Amino acid sequence: MPKANKISTVAVIGAGQMGTGIAEVLAKHGYEALIYDLDKNRVRASIEASAGYFRRQGETGKMPGEAAEQAILRIKGAFSLPDLASADLVVEAVSENEGIKRKVFAEVCTVLKPDAILATNTSSLSITRLAASTDRPNRFIGIHFMNPVPVMKLVELVRGIGTDQETFATAKAFAESIGKTVTVSEDFPAFIVNRVLIPMINEAIYTLYEGVGNVEAIDTGMKLGANHPMGPLELADFIGLDTCLSIMQVLHEGLADSKYRPCPLLVKYVEAGWLGRKAQRGFYDYSYVPARPTR
Ligand SMILES: CC(=O)CC(=O)SCCNC(=O)CCNC(=O)[C@H](O)C(C)(C)COP(=O)(O)OP(=O)(O)OC[C@H]1O[C@@H](n2cnc3c(N)ncnc32)[C@H](O)[C@@H]1OP(=O)(O)O
Ligand SMILES: NC(=O)C1=CN([C@@H]2O[C@H](COP(=O)(O)OP(=O)(O)OC[C@H]3O[C@@H](n4cnc5c(N)ncnc54)[C@H](OP(=O)(O)O)[C@@H]3O)[C@@H](O)[C@H]2O)C=CC1
């Protein structure tokens, strides 16, 4: 199994959709994955979902059955932060909120090996600022995976001002060892992919808000008219409307340009708890099969 220099055990903090996908890709490529979340039920649900994913991979012949079974065994639940002490690399994938991430870093640094690398999967936040809240800004880096992690080929690497060359080289070798293509972004709000993608989604929400078209017309338009695999509103629901809003806020505040103002309809949906697929409701209602547009 390919492994990046000096890394064999990887801890993933945050057992949501990204943390679960990251653990799956790690296990598939021979790494021991420890998955942690504040909510123990989330850890159990994540492990269960990953086991289901690998069983389907085995049943459909996408992975040899035995390899799929071994991958299941490589994902282990961590139910307290000291359980992460053996990690050579930590990938933080908790909610896109700077305060929450800072708190997690402060706590996890107390249990990590001094030479462990700390990475964040943040979609938008300053790597330099997050690094400054840790005891190891030189060994801190942004490793930004795309959703769904097992399918999407890209990883963006983002150095903070203090990230050292060895950390960057190890992170790059690690990302390539799990089959990802690496692009490098400078440490600016939302990096490259989300600087382009999320304002497009925000504009689609404005198009809905202003009554230019309904959900179906906007998504069909972009799928058939621009060959996007998902319409922008479907994609917003898929990413999570809370995450989309956080990214727009970081762009708006970080670049101080009114063109990044979050659409009031996006704000309202998040305030209502209509966060997209993960909440069963966003621009679509997922209690129906197939999901029905809500506007
Ligand atoms: C917010 C950020 O910080 C950055 C981001 O991630 S932005 C979001 C980036 N992601 C995108 O833009 C995704 C856009 N959507 C797509 O590419 C596609 O709709 C999709 C890949 C998600 C699904 O593709 P599809 O053709 O509609 O569906 P489907 O046929 O079911 O799936 C295609 C493959 O993906 C796999 N797949 C789909 N969802 C998956 C998931 N959650 N986990 C694992 N595999 C998944 C399927 O098993 C299938 O695999 P095979 O080809 O081996 O059979
Ligand atoms: N969604 C996407 O398409 C992408 C997201 N990202 C980034 O990945 C990160 C995670 O996103 P995503 O997986 O979608 O979000 P989710 O909401 O699916 O998952 C976040 C998880 O973190 C948990 N959590 C919150 N606070 C803590 C804490 N203090 N300690 C441990 N766990 C905690 C949450 O629990 P609870 O729900 O109980 O609060 C939840 O289980 C974000 O930074 C996001 O920007 C990056 C690329 C793509």
Supply 153's token pair: 């080929």
Q: What are phi and psi of 227, to 5 degrees?
A: 60, 35
CATH 1.10.1040.10 location in the chain: 192-293
Q: Is 94 in the pocket of ligand 2 (CB under 6 A)?
A: yes
Residue 15 annotated as lining a ligand binding site: yes
Alpha carbons 250 and 238: distance in angstroms, whole number: 20
Q: Is 18 in the pocket of ligand 2 (CB under 6 A)?
A: yes
Residues that are catalytic: 123, 144, 156, 194
| Per-residue pLDDT tens over the stretch 173-227 | 999 999 999 999 999 999 999 999 999 999 999 999 999 999 999 999 999 999 9
Residue 37 annotated as lining a ligand binding site: yes
User: What's the pLDDT at 3?
Assistant: 62
| Per-residue pLDDT tens over the stretch 64-76 | 999 999 999 999 9
C-alpha distances in angstroms, 98 versus 94, 120, 126, 129? 10, 11, 9, 9
CATH 3.40.50.720 location in the chain: 9-186
Radius of gyration over every alpha carbon of the chain, rounded to an integer in angstroms = 19
| Per-residue pLDDT tens over the stretch 17-67 | 999 999 999 999 999 999 999 999 999 999 999 999 999 999 999 999 999
- Region for residue 69 given its phi and psi (left: phi exceeds 0; alpha: psi -120 to 50; beta: otherwise): alpha
pTM score: 0.97
Residue 30 annotated as lining a ligand binding site: no
Q: Which of 1-10, 76-85, 105-114, 286-295 bottoms out in mean pLDDT, i.e. has the lowest? A: 1-10
Displacement of CA 37 from its chain's centroid (Å): 14
182 - beta bridge partners?
Answer: 155
User: What's the pLDDT at 6?
Assistant: 83
User: What's the pLDDT at 53?
Assistant: 98
- Given a cut of 80, whether residue 282 has pLDDT beyond it is yes
CATH top-level class of 192-293: mainly alpha
User: What's the pLDDT at 241?
Assistant: 98
ipTM above 0.90, yes or no: yes
Supply 44's token pair: 């159990």
Pocket test for ligand 1, best of 22, 143, 147, 151 (most atoms within 8 A of CB): 151
Residue nearest to atom 27 of ligand 1 (CA): 229
| Per-residue pLDDT tens over the stretch 102-153 | 999 999 999 999 999 999 999 999 999 999 999 999 999 999 999 999 999 9
Alpha carbons 250 and 202: distance in angstroms, whole number: 13
User: What's the pLDDT at 272?
Assistant: 98
CATH number of 9-186: 3.40.50.720
